[in-house]
Homo-oligomer: A and B are copies of this chain.
Amino acid sequence: MKSVAILGIGQTKIDEHWDMSLREIGGEAAFAAMQDAGMDKVDALFVGNMLSPLIDGQNQLGTYYADWIGLWKQEAVKVEAACASGAAALRAALMAVSAGELDSALVLGVEKMTDKAAHDVTSALATAADADYEVEQGISFVGINALVMRRYMHEFGWKHTDFAPFSINAHANAIHNPFARLHQKINTDQFERSSMIATPINLMDASPIGDGAAAAVIVPAEKVVSMKGKPKITVAGSASATDAIAVHSRNDPLFLSAAYTSSKRAYETANVTPNDIDVFELHDAFSIMSALSLEACGFAERGRGVKLGLDNEISPNGRVPVCTRGGLKARGHPVGATGMYQIVEVVQQLRGECGETQVDGAKTGMAQNIGGSGATIITHILKAE
């Protein structure tokens, strides 16, 4: 694959944007990325979104945004892979640019989720699970993750409180990210006393939804003449893998085989090992997913993912910094946009733009976006030159 560089990034603050339309939320991030890249036109637009048909009554989001942001006549398409839609859009765009078919592309992850009642959003999110064999039984998406977390605690002997460091780290980091949805520190006591959602998952284990958008402009790396003093960021690895869509169909519900496969492929392409990853923006939709991701990607032994949190290895100055801008837990999780927030945040780290939560000397970063309960997992590795 021809080398591709990320020339510009942009994002919209995650919030309940009742005063902004779907158009405006996506447009803000798109315009910011184009401005950051110093471009007023790109060859194509790839949009990652999961819920706009269900929540906003709008399909064909590629063309919808090409129209809105003035990319008239340009190619545009939407890509969907549940909560991994953002990274899926980036990967489709990468392949198109890499094929030489496009000289530039804008990738936009966007979601507007807060215009509907909570039960409608819960139903909409359940479309990420297996409609016939999971949702028909009446289980919600958080319910599926709760079963996985309970099994993990039983199998490996961890208590609920052992997951606290993941949420505490995410909240501590989000305070320094102006685009994050939540800006409150939490402590172990608050983590433990938080409202129960689906036992053992409580409010502090779960990421908040929100309205948001994040975007990046990509170009063939060979065409980048100057980054105006900023480091040049290239995509060194990109891989996507799948698993059974229903958790009960997997050989082992506690092993994210699609994370294992996609991270392995991405490591190989990028010619790195987990030891080389300076920052890892993982998909902490629920605290259990942080543990499982760290294990499947080679940062911890089976059943030992939570130990990384307990040993304080996950903070920006730890051995495996995760969620350095707040993660899904505190930056927020506008589902189809999340994968592109992760990319934007890894770029910020590699550019050294993260202030209080900057990982010193970060040169190689990884972002991993998960659709469903581990069904679609897409891994990108970025490098600063």
List A residues at the B interface (Cβ < 8 Å).
Answer: 1-2, 21, 23, 44, 50-51, 53-54, 56-64, 66-67, 71-82, 88, 91-92, 95-96, 98-101, 124, 126-128, 130-132, 135, 239-246, 249, 257-258, 261, 371-372, 375-376
Please judge, given known A-B contacts A96-B95, A243-B73, whether A81 and B79 are in contact too, CB under 8 Å.
Answer: no
Contact of A242 among B62, B124, B258, B372 (CB under 8 A): B62
**A–B complex contacts, Cβ < 8 Å, 6 sampled:** A53-B124, A58-B131, A59-B128, A71-B242, A73-B241, A77-B79
Find chain B residues with CB under 8 A from A44 CB. 240
Find chain B residues with CB under 8 A from A50 CB. 59
Contact of A127 among B58, B80, B132 (CB under 8 A): B58
**How long is the Cα–Cα vector from A80 to B64 in the complex, in angstroms?**
12
Distance (whole angstroms) from the CB of A361 to the closest CB of chain B:
31
Find chain B residues with CB under 8 A from A261 CB. 73
- Give the dominant DSSP class at A's interface: mixed
B81 & A80 in contact (Cβ 8 Å cutoff): no
**How long is the Cα–Cα vector from A84 to B44 in the complex, in angstroms?**
16
Distance (whole angstroms) from the CB of A156 to the closest CB of chain B:
24
B131 & A57 in contact (Cβ 8 Å cutoff): yes
9 smallest A-B Cβ distances: which pairs?
Answer: A99-B99, A59-B127, A60-B82, A98-B99, A58-B131, A95-B96, A75-B240, A63-B242, A57-B131
Find chain B residues with CB under 8 A from A372 CB. 60, 63
**How long is the Cα–Cα vector from A1 to B99 in the complex, in angstroms?**
6
Distance (whole angstroms) from the CB of A128 to the closest CB of chain B:
6
B242 & A75 in contact (Cβ 8 Å cutoff): yes
Of all chain B residues, the one with the shortest Cβ separation from A96 is B95
**How long is the Cα–Cα vector from A1 to B2 in the complex, in angstroms?**
12
**How long is the Cα–Cα vector from A88 to B78 in the complex, in angstroms?**
9
Of all chain B residues, the one with the shortest Cβ separation from A80 is B78
**How long is the Cα–Cα vector from A128 to B59 in the complex, in angstroms?**
5
B73 & A59 in contact (Cβ 8 Å cutoff): no
Find chain B residues with CB under 8 A from A242 CB. 62-63, 66-67, 71-76
Distance (whole angstroms) from the CB of A358 to the closest CB of chain B:
33
A92 & B79 in contact (Cβ 8 Å cutoff): yes
**How long is the Cα–Cα vector from A95 to B81 in the complex, in angstroms?**
18
* 18 additional contacts (CB under 8 A) given A63-B82, A72-B243, A76-B240: A44-B240, A54-B54, A58-B130, A60-B245, A60-B371, A60-B376, A67-B246, A73-B257, A76-B376, A77-B240, A77-B376, A78-B79, A78-B80, A92-B92, A92-B96, A95-B96, A95-B101, A98-B100
B132 & A23 in contact (Cβ 8 Å cutoff): yes
Please judge, given known A-B contacts A53-B53, A132-B23, whether A88 and B81 are in contact too, CB under 8 Å.
Answer: no
Contact of A63 among B60, B74, B135, B376 (CB under 8 A): B376
Please judge, given known A-B contacts A57-B135, A98-B101, whether A77 and B88 are in contact too, CB under 8 Å.
Answer: yes
Find chain B residues with CB under 8 A from A61 CB. 80
Distance (whole angstroms) from the CB of A335 to the closest CB of chain B:
10
Of all chain B residues, the one with the shortest Cβ separation from A64 is B245
**How long is the Cα–Cα vector from A24 to B374 in the complex, in angstroms?**
23
Of all chain B residues, the one with the shortest Cβ separation from A58 is B131
Please judge, given known A-B contacts A77-B92, A88-B77, whether A127 and B63 are in contact too, CB under 8 Å.
Answer: no
Find chain B residues with CB under 8 A from A127 CB. 53, 57-60
